Amino acid sequence: MMYHEHISQEDLELYALLALPAEKSAAIRSHMEGCVLCRAGLDEVTGNLALVAMSVEQHPVPEGARERFIESIAAAVPAPSERTQRKVAPISAQRRARSVMYWIPWAAVAALVMIVVTLSVKVGTLNQELQRQSDLAEIEAAKNSHAREVLEVLTAPSAKRVLLTSGRRRPRPTARAVYLAERGGLILQASNLRPVPADKAYELWVIPADGSAPIPAGLFRPDAAGSASVMLPPLPKGVPAKAFGVTIERAEGSAKPTLPIILSGAGE
């Protein structure tokens, strides 16, 4: 028998289990000498069978089992007269039959193992896709939450709306602030700002109504058009504001405003 095409998966499994006739096994060996794909397939089948073998729990032989086995063989051996009358089957035929019957369960187990491995790979891929979709959903949820918070500050009836100006000729720097004291929410939109050196930055300040020290409310630098914004800086809640101001500070920020105040405005 000659194989002109690739060996089937079933024949590879039976070959690995030594469950094929000698002629067919010889043909498979001859084919695999020149076929890399079939050799790779046999390696995979052999690896799966090794995994099955290692997964079987090993138990010690019970005490006295050897003696009982020898006694059962002796009892099963017929008398000389009976042995001469029985028809003796060829050794090769008996061995082949026993080999096939012995390895058939292993072939079924190996097939089940390969099915389980395939399903495990598919389940792993699905879990990765589900995790990716879950991560994307969390990111979108965070963006939506931030957008809702910005909208609440902008549309709250109790929010203060302040225009900050420099008093210079046009186009002069301006900024509009919306402040919601009970939420500690502050949004600033500035325009026509002049650029600052690399080691400097604009800093926004909240001037509390009770006369306490100004509260830093965020650093920012304008873009090429002079526009900048501050969105919901971390501020304490429930602090009424008397006014707002913008100064130029060090790039890392300052604990108190540095004069002059570039922009300022009082609450409505």
Tell me the per-residue pLDDT of 12-25, one tens digit each, with 9 for 90 and over.
888 887 878 888 88
pLDDT in the model for residue 87: 52
How far is 91 from 251, CA to CA, in rounded Å? Answer: 94
Domains of the chain: 1-53+88-155 (no CATH), 160-266 (2.60.40)
pLDDT in the model for residue 84: 47
- Name beta bridge partners: 28: none
Sign of CA dihedral 256, 261, 263, 267: positive
pLDDT in the model for residue 122: 76
3-state secondary structure (DSSP) of residue 248: strand
User: Closest Cα partner for 185 from 228, 141, 155?
Assistant: 155
Helix axes 9-16, 91-155, angle to 10 degrees: 120
User: Closest Cα partner for 201 from 264, 150, 258?
Assistant: 258
- ω into 260 cis (within 30 of 0): yes
pLDDT in the model for residue 203: 97
How far is 268 from 161, CA to CA, in rounded Å? Answer: 7
How far is 74 from 138, CA to CA, in rounded Å? Answer: 74
The DSSP line for 88-141 is PPPHHHHHHHHHHHHHHHHHHHHHHHHHHHHHHHHHHHHHHHHHHHHHHHHHHH
Sign of CA dihedral 52, 53, 58, 60: positive
pLDDT in the model for residue 127: 87
How far is 203 from 255, CA to CA, in rounded Å? Answer: 10
Residue-by-residue pLDDT tens, the chain, 268 positions: 556 678 888 888 888 878 788 888 888 888 888 888 888 888 888 877 766 655 555 555 566 656 665 666 566 555 555 544 555 545 454 555 555 555 555 556 666 767 777 777 778 888 888 898 989 999 999 989 888 888 888 888 888 888 777 655 557 899 999 999 999 999 999 999 999 999 999 999 999 999 999 999 999 999 999 999 999 999 999 999 999 999 999 999 999 999 999 999 986 6
pLDDT in the model for residue 14: 86
pLDDT in the model for residue 223: 95
* Average pLDDT of the residues of the chain: 80
How far is 240 from 204, CA to CA, in rounded Å? Answer: 16
How far is 18 from 98, CA to CA, in rounded Å? Answer: 11
